A and B are shown apart, each in its own frame.
Chain A
């Protein structure tokens, strides 16, 4: 319930943003780089490289407990002080997830800022070994909003909420393919991200993401059929380059 209430608060915050605009302040450029923190960028590019570690629950995998991290390349491109393009690639070689979307950024005061965005993601997987001759891909939409809190000691805290909406899915087994299209609510996710300078202008990212969804792209080879929302906890770690 706390999470849902938090999400409601967040939506309310987004609805009230015109009021915040009236009291907006001229942003002071930050010396450090960041990927998640919703704040105007002082450079054209921010890039991070790291990994995500997702726990896929037993109710999906049964006894098999895959613990394979996904590589995480995250890029932020400045458009202007209000807009940026957020691009991210999660890769496990045989299955990958690529997302891109605009981010509108607004600074509320010295401590608080927020952004709203809408990412479109394409995931694809390919298993052709042992007893598998399968491939799949799909499109997912992630409307999202982030609240940034500037802490002392240059620690940047970001609270992010996002919805997950499947747009398209296609699976192929041997020469047989099936496809589904149309909007389908998958679930939602919330995350807390910390970004802190490490040395010079390099930063370290550490975060936790909770996904509550009935489809998680890394589980596609299991061909889950039960329409059940499941909690997927994920740890995110990376270095801002």
Chain B
């Protein structure tokens, strides 16, 4: 029986090689922002094996890479929490989409190559004022499994615009997902922060610890352990290490460094289109260092013309007491996870109960009536995500599967 342990499958879902000669050819040029924006919408999927379900939501996002803006077209599907992440180019009178797909409930992934012909709507998408109607865009393509050449056919036909109700926050847990979700980046890392928009997140939740020398960093667990970092002989509480020690000796599972909160906020404000930041403060000391960074980056975001909310998350009653030690705490943007009346007492901008309490429509209505927001965490079960979006009234959902939350939100009618 002990031998059984050694039979354990190694789980990984690497991003496949995305080289495509036609897409990489000099004749393929960047697609205009307008064309990409016009492609956003809900599409009907035609694919004989039903690998991705019947509907998809196509959403545009961007991330800054140096002075360049890189756009991604994410195709969000309902079945098995699947998604495609594509980039677009113009090739003659057609549009090419190149990327990969992934299913979050398992390790399935593969290459995807698609195109929109002139007759399939590319002409309309190239126009300065695209008129997009039902069936006016037809995306044809192929997808494959793992590193295999893509040969399975898939077709997407434009059906309608994305649902656009009141502002709804699609919040990615630990900046995008857990390390165990086998995304291309480690949880709570700079890479994951930049990746979150590709999963259709509008905001992120990040975990804040502090080092021995009081520098707020992004890290979830109390200890250095091989769930989160590469094996290096170090262990014990993360707060017993100085930032220099962590910087020089510790690497996250994907090889990145543990980022400081300053680096994270810098990235969010200047390199992503994220608009909501939930700082889940997990250390047991003064909130002052986090509060100072919150003030600084709210000002920087405003100066950069970005409308970003940064809230200090309070997960426990102990955190609530320490939060109250901040001067004028009632004016500090905060999020409280426990009792609603406590959230009201500290004038929290957001009340965020655990999802396992159910829809709580009456309490949510009370929060909204006071001009505040209600989020729910951390909801991953697909059927419940659908229920919370269609039958609940929360202003946002925190999930390890932001692409799924986005799917159910955008395909609403």
A residues with CB within 8 A of B: 1-4, 58-59, 62-63, 127, 131-134, 171, 173-176, 178, 190-192, 208-210, 212, 221, 223, 225-229, 231, 233
Closest beta carbon of chain A to B163's beta carbon, Å: 21
Question: Is B167 in contact with chain A by the CB < 8 A criterion?
Answer: no
Query: Are B180 and A1 within 8 A (Cβ)?
Result: no
Q: What is the CA–CA distance of A221 and B355 in the complex, to the nearest angstrom?
A: 12
Question: Is B141 in contact with chain A by the CB < 8 A criterion?
Answer: no
Chain B residues closer than 8 Å to A127, beta-carbon distance: 356
| 6 further interface pairs, Cβ-Cβ under 8 Å (given A131-B357, A175-B359, A178-B383) | A3-B7, A133-B358, A226-B104, A228-B106, A229-B9, A233-B5
Residue of B nearest to A180 (CB): B383
Question: Is B321 in contact with chain A by the CB < 8 A criterion?
Answer: no
Query: Can you name 11 A-B residue pairings with CB atoms under 8 Å?
Result: A1-B3, A3-B1, A3-B3, A132-B357, A210-B5, A212-B4, A223-B381, A225-B401, A226-B180, A231-B5, A233-B5
Query: Are B1 and A210 within 8 A (Cβ)?
Result: yes
Closest beta carbon of chain B to A159's beta carbon, Å: 9
Give B165-222 interface residues, CB cut-off 8 Å to A.
178, 180-181, 220-222
A-contact bits for B358-394, CB 8 A (1 contact / 0 none):
1110000000000000000000111110011001000
Q: What is the CA–CA distance of A209 and B4 in the complex, to the nearest angstrom?
A: 11
Query: Are B221 and A175 within 8 A (Cβ)?
Result: no
Chain B residues closer than 8 Å to A132, beta-carbon distance: 354, 356-357
Query: Are A225 and B359 within 8 A (Cβ)?
Result: no
Known A-B contacts A63-B222, A228-B11; A176 and B384 likewise in contact (beta carbons under 8 Å): yes
Closest beta carbon of chain A to B378's beta carbon, Å: 10
Interface centre among B9, B221, B223, B356 (most CB of A within 10 A): B356
Closest beta carbon of chain B to A3's beta carbon, Å: 4
Contact of A225 among B105, B223, B353, B354 (CB under 8 A): B105
Chain B residues closer than 8 Å to A192, beta-carbon distance: 1
Q: What is the CA–CA distance of A127 and B223 in the complex, to the nearest angstrom?
A: 28
Residue of B nearest to A172 (CB): B358
Q: What is the CA–CA distance of A67 and B359 in the complex, to the nearest angstrom?
A: 31
Known A-B contacts A59-B180, A223-B381, A225-B380; A2 and B3 likewise in contact (beta carbons under 8 Å): yes
Contact of A223 among B353, B380, B391 (CB under 8 A): B380
Question: Is B25 in contact with chain A by the CB < 8 A criterion?
Answer: no
Contact of A226 among B181, B360, B383 (CB under 8 A): B181
Query: Are A226 and B106 within 8 A (Cβ)?
Result: yes
Chain B residues closer than 8 Å to A226, beta-carbon distance: 104-106, 180-181
A-contact bits for B88-112, CB 8 A (1 contact / 0 none):
0000000000000000111000000
A-contact bits for B1-26, CB 8 A (1 contact / 0 none):
11111011101000000000000000
Give B263-307 interface residues, CB cut-off 8 Å to A.
none
Chain A residues closer than 8 Å to B358, beta-carbon distance: 133, 173-176
Interface centre among B220, B225, B387 (most CB of A within 10 A): B387
Chain A residues closer than 8 Å to B391, beta-carbon distance: 176
Query: Are B2 and A210 within 8 A (Cβ)?
Result: yes
Chain A residues closer than 8 Å to B381, beta-carbon distance: 171, 178, 223, 225
Q: What is the CA–CA distance of A223 and B1 in the complex, to the nearest angstrom?
A: 27
Chain B residues closer than 8 Å to A178, beta-carbon distance: 381, 383-384, 387
Residue of B nearest to A59 (CB): B180
Question: Is B227 in contact with chain A by the CB < 8 A criterion?
Answer: yes
Chain B residues closer than 8 Å to A63, beta-carbon distance: 220-223
Closest beta carbon of chain B to A148's beta carbon, Å: 17
Q: What is the CA–CA distance of A133 and B222 in the complex, to the nearest angstrom?
A: 27
Residue of A nearest to B382 (CB): A225
Contact of B227 among A3, A4, A62, A225 (CB under 8 A): A62
Residue of B nearest to A159 (CB): B1
Interface centre among A176, A190, A209 (most CB of B within 10 A): A176
Closest beta carbon of chain B to A146's beta carbon, Å: 14
Chain A residues closer than 8 Å to B5, beta-carbon distance: 210, 231, 233
Contact of A1 among B7, B178, B401 (CB under 8 A): B7
Closest beta carbon of chain A to B37's beta carbon, Å: 32
Query: Are B4 and A62 within 8 A (Cβ)?
Result: no
Chain A residues closer than 8 Å to B384, beta-carbon distance: 171, 173, 176, 178
Q: What is the CA–CA distance of A127 and B106 in the complex, to the nearest angstrom?
A: 28
Q: What is the CA–CA distance of A174 and B1 in the complex, to the nearest angstrom?
A: 40
Q: What is the CA–CA distance of A1 and B384 in the complex, to the nearest angstrom?
A: 38
Q: What is the CA–CA distance of A10 and B382 in the complex, to the nearest angstrom?
A: 38
Q: What is the CA–CA distance of A133 and B376 in the complex, to the nearest angstrom?
A: 14
Q: What is the CA–CA distance of A115 and B319 in the complex, to the nearest angstrom?
A: 57
Closest beta carbon of chain B to A103's beta carbon, Å: 21
Closest beta carbon of chain A to B401's beta carbon, Å: 8
Q: What is the CA–CA distance of A131 and B180 in the complex, to the nearest angstrom?
A: 24
Contact of A231 among B4, B225, B359, B383 (CB under 8 A): B4
